[in-house]
Each structure stands twice: as structure tokens, then as C-alpha cells.
Amino acid sequence: MVEKKQDIDEIRRVLEDMRQEYWESLEEVEGAAEESREFLIFRLGKERFGIAAEAVREVVRMPARLVPVPRVAAHIRGVFNLRGQILAVTDLGCLLGLSASAIGSTVRLVVVEAAGLNTALLAEKVEGLRRIASADIEPLTAGLGDFPREDAEGQVVETSGLVVLLNLERIFTHPDFVVNEKID
């Protein structure tokens, strides 16, 4: 009987150790997830940019025709219908001091939602999703055209070059982005 009680106590200790290891491993996984984020990397001209993956809804081909919208800012290239939703096509290149994006066969539209706004961003080439460690993100060394540096989350230096990580929440609320004003 004493031996049975010792066996039961030993089983309880082993189970408690296993339970403790399990919870510690979960904490490590959660900690690792907080230390990195996923970004969609894309090109505008020769520059590479990243936007937080949680803002991306989908990537679609450029429609055959964009409907031009008169009297809007130059960064709005037109609108199109995506499964019943009318979306503006936004050329971030115009906003960031780059030349207007060329529309060719490789152009994709990155449908995003941020700051309560849905729009499709022109991307000359989408490279894909990349997990970036928070420790690898450095402060931006140069501005983004007329946009302040705070509108970027930072930059990451990779072997294939520099990636500027954009903060869509801040960009979409920037006065130059707002399109509900009359443009003369």
C-alpha cells in the first residue's frame, strides 16, 4: 500500500513537471511571436517597401480598366469594382516623392484596410510575405518625400537591399492623403 502511494506521488510529480514545461514552452512561443511581425514586401520603382500583413486583405491583378475620377489628388489613379466594392487605386509613389508608378503586366493591387479606409495600393512587383524581427527594425535614415519619418515604422537592411516599413495608419491620416477636399 505504501508503495502504491509512492507510485501515485511519483506520477503526480511527473505530471506536474510536464504541465510546468508545457506552460513554459507556450510562454516562449508567445514571446517569440511578439518579437517579430509579418510584412508584405513590394516594389515601387527601385525602392522596396513593407506594410504590416494584418492590414493586407488580398493581392489582385490590375483590372483591364480603371475609371478615372476627376478633380482628385494625383495619387488617386482611379477606381475599380472588386466583387461589388468600389475601391480607389492609390499610388503611394506619388505620395512618397517617387515618380508615378508605371502600369504594366507585373503591376498588382494590394488591397488594404487601415485607419478605417479600404483602398488598393499600386505595387509594381509584390515580393511576398516576410517575418521581420523587431530587433532588426532600425529608425528611418531618410524622409519619405513630404511625409515625416514618423509615417514609417522604420527600415530593415537585408542582403537584397533596404526595405522601408510603412505605417499605413499614419499615412492614411496624413493631410496630403485625405481626398475629401476639393482640388483645383
Residue type, 104: G
Report the DSSP beta bridge partners of residue 99: none
- The cell for 37 is 511581425
Find where cell 503611394 sits: 92
pLDDT tens, position by position, 16-52: 888 888 888 777 666 555 689 999 999 998 889 999 9
- Residue 128 pLDDT more than 90? yes
3 state SS for 108-146: EEEEEEECCEEEEEEECEEEEEEEEEHHHCECCCCCECC
The angle formed by the CA atoms of residues 120, 123 and 124, to the nearest 5 degrees, is 150
Amino acid type, 37: R
pLDDT at 136 over 90: yes
Average pLDDT (1-23) is 77
Q: What is the pLDDT of residue 23?
A: 83
Residue 93 gets the label, from left (phi > 0), alpha (psi -120 to 50) or beta, of alpha
- Strand ranges in 26-168 using DSSP code E only, listed in sequence order: 36-44, 47-52, 56-61, 76-82, 85-90, 108-114, 117-123, 125-133, 152-158, 161-166
| Mean per-residue pLDDT, 110-133 | 95
Backbone angles phi, psi at 89, to 5 degrees: -100, 115
Cell triple for residue 100? Answer: 508615378
Amino acid 99: pLDDT = 76
CA distance 82 to 61: 11
The average pLDDT across 83-101 equals 86
- Please check the confidence at residue 175 and state whether its pLDDT lies above 90: no
Q: What is the pLDDT of residues 142-172, one digit of tens each?
A: 766 666 777 889 999 999 899 999 999 988 8
Nearest to 89 by CA among 179, 183, 181: 179
Q: Angle at the Cα of 13 (from 11 to 15), degrees rounded to 5?
A: 70
The cell numbers describing 181, all together, are 477636399
In whole angstroms, how large is the CA radius of gyration of the chain?
24
pLDDT at 183 over 60: no
